[in-house]
Amino acid sequence: MAKTIENLLSEERRFPPPTAFARAAIAQPGIFERADADYLRFWEAEAERLQWRERWRQVLDDSKAPFYRWFTGGKLNVTESCLDRHLATAGDRVAYYWEGEPGDKRTLTYRELHAEVCRLANALKSLGVRKGNTVAIYMGMVPELPIALLACARIGAPHSVVFGGFSAESLGERIRDAGAVAVITADGAWRRGRVVPLKESVDEALANAPTVRHAIVLRRAGNEIRMRAGRDHWYHEIVPKAAASCAPEPMDAEDLLFILYTSGSAGKPKGIAHTTGGYLTQVAATHRYVFDIKPEDRFWCTADCGWVTGHSYVVYGPLANGATSLIYEGTPDFPDKDRWWKLIADYRVTILYTAPTAIRTFMKWGDDYPRRRDLSSLRLLGSVGEPINPEAWMWYHATIGGGRCPIVDTWWQTETGAILISPLPGITTAKPGSATRPLPGIAADVVDEHGRSVPLGGGGYLVIRRPWPAMLRTIHGAPERYLDVYWRRFPGLYFPGDGCKRDLDGYYWLLGRVDDVMLVSGHNISTTEVESALVAHPAVAEAAVVGRADPITGQAIAAFVVLKAAVAGDDALITALRDHVARKIGAVAKPASIVFTEDLPKTRSGKIMRRLLRDISEERKLGDVTTLANADIVETIRGRAAHSPPSE
Ligand code: WT7
């Protein structure tokens, strides 16, 4: 990685803002200094753009830092900013164009979306869901998914969206941790022409989730399901007959808006807690100035609402800004590999926000697919989820953007709630591969292992020096873990867990995770989680998992497995283990390769040396082996890894 960056810096590829962006939402560079001079006033001005019931007394309460509180005393319901306030001026504007994978279409204006949200909110109320009750949501990308988030917000019930690709077991664990009282789901979801049986997973999860009293089930894929009387309710039977107006529940600025689970290196997922006023303030602000959003834009953020990107830039940010978005249900290769480009042409999409893993996949498929379609409506491109390698950046810029669209490479996390580091398209000169600089109001830095700021030109750990409105407030049910994971490494500084290098212009070059969390296709997966799943299989004695660089998925999961005595390690077992992990965690966590070995490289204290396994997986010279207790095993594993082709 470091080498790539050096090469790049010497090449000095720079992309200044195109003249078309001279009148972008933010085009005056003075904004950085102004925000820096009084960052609380800067964020307060952003909060003033939202609809509040009562004004806050204090912008930031840091008396219990790092349990920061923003806009304390303020009262609002996020759905009033996202829906009600647009009705008078833009009720007939399209909020969502939606296309299903089979090709069915739906359009929802702000007025229609408002009515749908109110109906579902009333249906939830009729089932006894109250302010403060958590509701789990497990669906595909159908219009009812954003509607479900907003309906929960309308009545003050925190939502916990679980990505539809997660297994029944993962869903159950998240439902239990959140103590959800209801689930909103669908019979199934369309994915690559097949049905993902969502309700089946819900049934399995609920067998062991006693807090859930009700499930609302959307009919989407038409697959046969079981409905349990008293607990399960068809969406189409209870929602359309509910009233189309529902008074918004006034919420405190610091009331919980949602929990969203993200992988932790200790195996157990972390329920990231986001609250109301600060979160909406910052997602609305960043959506407006990073994407330079205009009423006539057609914005397409391709993320699923199961990830934070979908929460912030499919639902809350765009709706707070009264924007028009596209939502697509399915995969990019159905029925053919030009589906996204056809969607962009059909809907005249102007802004595309997607992930490097998708971009690399399209590169692999070849230029012919995007060339078939008219992409001239695009004016801005975005990237998120992992560092975008310069080759992919250049391809995205030339082949998708026609050389005319700026690219915003946006760095953020589930925990940060909103984008923190990114170019501003009207101001920033981009360098391919760099997320450029912290946004106005954000104080980032790069420090060494003692927490000392590293001068420009050096590398170390990324930290954030001042709180920001959309920051996580805690880990649900685990405040000590919140302190441990984010605040104890560098006291007083927020530590996101990413390595970072800063060049002499002060540009940030993100280097990936420094802990044992892997980033596979932009999804955060912990090594411990996959290891635990492998070890749960009856044939497995021990397992070590590492992320190795992969040209398509960013990182691919390489597993090293010690089998129980008398178990033969053959191809059938490799397949069985991969399926087993998919069942336990989800298909995204399937190891790309599995190597059987008699032992794992360990330190004398018995700690697995994953660093060496990474070296082996990436075919590097081995690093320091002096602390190794069993040196010979490394060579054995290396020989085997070289002879075992990846399973996919
Ligand atoms: C991790 C957070 C934010 C939504 C998607 C991922 C990596 C994210 C970038 C970027 C380099 C990036 C970081 C971060 N990451 N965006 N533009 N450049 N790295 O959310 O699952 O919480 O993962 O994704 O390593 O810590 P997440």
How close is the Cα of 405 to the center of ligand 1, in Å? 22
Return all residues near 599 (Cβ < 8 A) that are at least 6 apart: 562, 630, 633
- The pLDDT tens digits of the residues spanning 591-617 come to 999 999 988 887 665 667 888 899 899
Whether 409 lines ligand 1, by a CB cut-off of 6 Å, is yes
Three-state SS at 290 = helix
Asked whether the predicted pLDDT for residue 231 surpasses 80, the reply is yes
How close is the Cα of 5 to the center of ligand 1, in Å? 18
DSSP code of 316?
A: I
Ligand 1, atom 21: closest residue by C-alpha? 524
pLDDT at 16: 95
Asked whether the predicted pLDDT for residue 7 surpasses 50, the reply is no
Please give the average per-residue pLDDT across 260-284, as a whole number: 90
Ligand 1 atom index nearest CA of 524: 21
pLDDT at 643: 63
Q: Which DSSP string corresponds to 126-148?
A: HTT--TT--EEEE--SSTHHHHH
How many residues in the chain?
648
In percent, how much of the chain has pLDDT > 90? 77
Asked whether the predicted pLDDT for residue 648 surpasses 50, the reply is no
CA 539/CA 517 separation, integer angstroms: 25
Ligand 1, atom 19: closest residue by C-alpha? 386
How close is the Cα of 384 to the center of ligand 1, in Å? 6
- The pLDDT tens digits of the residues spanning 97-142 come to 999 999 999 999 999 999 999 999 999 999 999 999 999 999 999 9
Whether 522 lines ligand 1, by a CB cut-off of 6 Å, is yes
Ligand 1, atom 14: closest residue by C-alpha? 413
Whether 286 lines ligand 1, by a CB cut-off of 6 Å, is no
pLDDT at 600: 87
The residue among 389, 390, 440, 439 whose CA lies nearest residue 410 is 439
How far CA 333 is from CA of 132, 362, 568, in Å, comes to: 40, 10, 37
For domain 521-642, the CATH architecture is 2-Layer Sandwich (3.30)
Please give the average per-residue pLDDT across 525-552, as a whole number: 87
Whether 524 lines ligand 1, by a CB cut-off of 6 Å, is yes
pLDDT at 644: 60
Pocket test for ligand 1, best of 307, 386, 462, 463 (most atoms within 8 A of CB): 386
How close is the Cα of 411 to the center of ligand 1, in Å? 6
Domain locations in the chain as residue ranges? 521-642
Whether 422 lines ligand 1, by a CB cut-off of 6 Å, is no
Pocket test for ligand 1, best of 274, 510, 514 (most atoms within 8 A of CB): 510
Whether 498 lines ligand 1, by a CB cut-off of 6 Å, is yes
Whether 435 lines ligand 1, by a CB cut-off of 6 Å, is yes
Please give the average per-residue pLDDT across 273-285, as a whole number: 98
Ligand 1, atom 6: closest residue by C-alpha? 385
Residue 252 C-beta-side C-alpha neighbours within 13 Å: 11
pLDDT at 535: 84
- The pLDDT tens digits of the residues spanning 453-509 come to 999 999 889 999 999 999 999 999 999 999 999 999 999 999 999 989 999 999 999
Cα 586 to the center of its chain, rounded Å: 16
Whether 304 lines ligand 1, by a CB cut-off of 6 Å, is no
In the structure encoding, which two tokens stand for residue 274, read together?
């986001």
